[in-house]
A and B are shown apart, each in its own frame.
Chain A
Amino acid sequence: MIPAVVFLTFILMLSIFLGFELINKVPATLHTPLMSGANAISGITVVGAISLAGTGNQDLANWLGAGAVALASINVVGGYLVTDRMLAMFKKKEG
């Protein structure tokens, strides 16, 4: 049986390379929206925090999880909304 760590590391390596390929193609004019969009994606921590916040045990881990859900939600909601607000302003010259 191959340990799960190997698979996780495998995924890590592939995603880093994929990330480099994808981001290299983003033009300079979109770097600010790219950054705030990436910021929203880094709020993915919310997924890890959700299961910790829902154990029903009134212990420290539960409170830490709930705090993490709140912080990561700021990132997710704020990040996507502000990115959309910015991208809506980018217009091509008409005609």
Chain B
Amino acid sequence: MDTMIQFAYVISAGLFIFGLKQLGSPATARRGNMISSTGMLVAIVAALLDQGIVDYQWIVIGIVVGGAIGAGAARMVQMTSMPEMVALFNGFGGMASLLVGWAALSPDAGTFTLVTIILSILIGGLTFTGSLVAYGKLSETIGSGAVLFSGQQVVNSLIVLGILGGAVMFCLDPSNLTWLFVVIALSLVFGIMAVIPIGGADMPVVISLLNSYSGLAACAAGFAVDNNILIVAGSLVGASGIILTQIMCKAMNRSLSNVLFSGFGSGKQDTTEVEGEIKPISVEDAYYVLEAATNVAIIPGYGMAVAQAQHVVKELTELLEQNGAEVNFGIHPVAGRMPGHMNVLLAEADVPYDQLLEMDDINPRMENVDVAIVIGANDVVNPAARENEGSPIYGMPVINVDAARTVFVLKRSMASGFAGIENPLFYKDNTRMLFGDAKESIGGLIREFS
């Protein structure tokens, strides 16, 4: 029987791998997700056949309660709130690994097992509280800004030393549970301390990294309870999170340690000087320009999500196309609060995915664009990143909207963006500012068309 269970795990691992492979294209992705969930079902059924199980009561209660909460959340969540939800789920995964690591503790555990137990508690614990803080920042239940205080590095170093010390003491004397509790408590504190200094705009990096940790925690738990499938699945998730983290860091031209350890823009003074003046435009005048345009590019940012403007954007796109214009979307990798956030919002509004271009695909076409419409994006279209070495975001790859013939920037007011960085784009000769709520402004354009 035991061999059968192990073989079932092999099948399950194969299904996970094949499922992830199918995620490589939007056409097969949904099937890939189905395959991956089948893999999970196989693994769970196999685990239930374990002969060590004598009492199914708590297993069933756990699965039913957890499953109901998960299904409810998945059904109700709005696409705009996807980053918060993913953060929260990451946290639950981390906590589950912490509990498994703890429960795996037995009097006859060898040193290797003890080390893996500590690892799964440590990674699981910091994933849990880190994700909760990330959830708080993303849902704005707590302030989304970076929290920095003097001596922060020292405090963090002490926590790390405390964890290391506690871990060593625990491995030397596992019968003394005090050290176990020290490690659990410090891991939870460390998760909070690790995420509070990171500002809202850096959340794509954090959420990717926590995703990776939740996988690694499962992996460590796999070592602790000696289970192959946990190791395989956990490391697949760990690898996926690390790759996304890398992509996000690259898109911001910052190293991971820079994101993790310094509040954004805290060190460097912004020396960007702006020339020219702001030129506002009315909805009516904007309509005349758009009506004559044959090539339009739309660059969405987090502001589009906040204003829930994706559906009116789709409507405008259709009107422009009926008017004979070609419309494309330029998506910056860090637009929004998690990787691919904009793509999901636009998919929700029925914008076909082949109309969404990545930064490297839209930039060469920008010269031929008549009107580039920037909706709620700021840093990702800031030409200072290209031109001004004194800007805190110098070197970050941006979408070169200023190369288009005309740029419309939809913005609430001239108050500076999240990071407070000057954006010379707003002062360029070919830029027109369309002030107001993005949803209302676009609604106004739609009324002019019809």
Contacts and interface: CB of A to CB of B under 8 A. Distances in A.
A18 interface: yes
Contacts of A4: 226
Interface in B376-407: none
A78 B243 CA distance: 23
Interface string A26-62: 1111111111111111111111111111111000111
B58 interface: yes
B102 interface: yes
B404 to A, nearest CB: 22
B26 A27 contact: yes
Interface string B25-60: 111011011101100100110111010111110110
A70 B163 CA distance: 27
Nearest to B46: A47
B228 interface: yes
A43 B58 contact: no
A75 B92 contact: yes
A43 to B, nearest CB: 6
A91 B244 CA distance: 23
Contacts, number: 367
A32 B341 contact: yes
B29 A71 contact: no
A28 B33 contact: no
A76 B70 contact: yes
B376 to A, nearest CB: 18
A74 B73 contact: yes
A81 B74 contact: yes
B222 interface: yes
A41 B218 CA distance: 10
Interface string B281-292: 000000000000
A86 B347 contact: yes
Interface string B72-91: 01110101001001100110
Contact of A28 (B70, B105, B221, B339): B339
Contact of B63 (A31, A55, A65, A69): A69
Contact of A47 (B47, B54, B95): B47
A17 to B, nearest CB: 8
A44 B239 contact: no
B33 A84 contact: yes
B100 A45 contact: yes
B236 A24 contact: no
Chain A binding site: helix, strand, loop or mixed by DSSP?
helix
B237 A38 contact: yes
Interface string A66-89: 111111111111111111111111
Given A90-B26, A91-B353, A93-B352, A47 B344 contact: no
Contacts of A65: 58, 99-100, 103
B33 A22 contact: no
A81 to B, nearest CB: 4
A80 B104 contact: no
Contact of A41 (B27, B58, B237): B237
A28 B215 contact: no
Contacts of A15: 231-232, 235-236, 239
B420 to A, nearest CB: 27
Of the candidates A26, A45, A62, A64, the one having the most CB atoms from chain B within 10 angstroms of its own CB is A45
Contacts of A69: 58-59, 62-63, 66, 96
A31 B244 contact: yes
Contact of B92 (A19, A23, A24, A72): A72
Interface in B212-240: 214-215, 217-219, 221-240
Contact of A24 (B231, B243, B354): B243
B74 A47 contact: no
A83 B106 CA distance: 37
A54 B61 CA distance: 11
A35 B96 CA distance: 18
B215 A35 contact: no
Can you list the 3 inter-chain pairs with the closest CB atoms, starting with the nearest? A19-B239, A73-B66, A78-B70
Interface of A: 4-5, 8, 11-12, 15-20, 22-56, 60-94
Given A5-B112, A35-B338, A72-B96, 8 more contacts: A16-B235, A16-B238, A18-B239, A42-B215, A50-B48, A61-B104, A70-B63, A76-B44
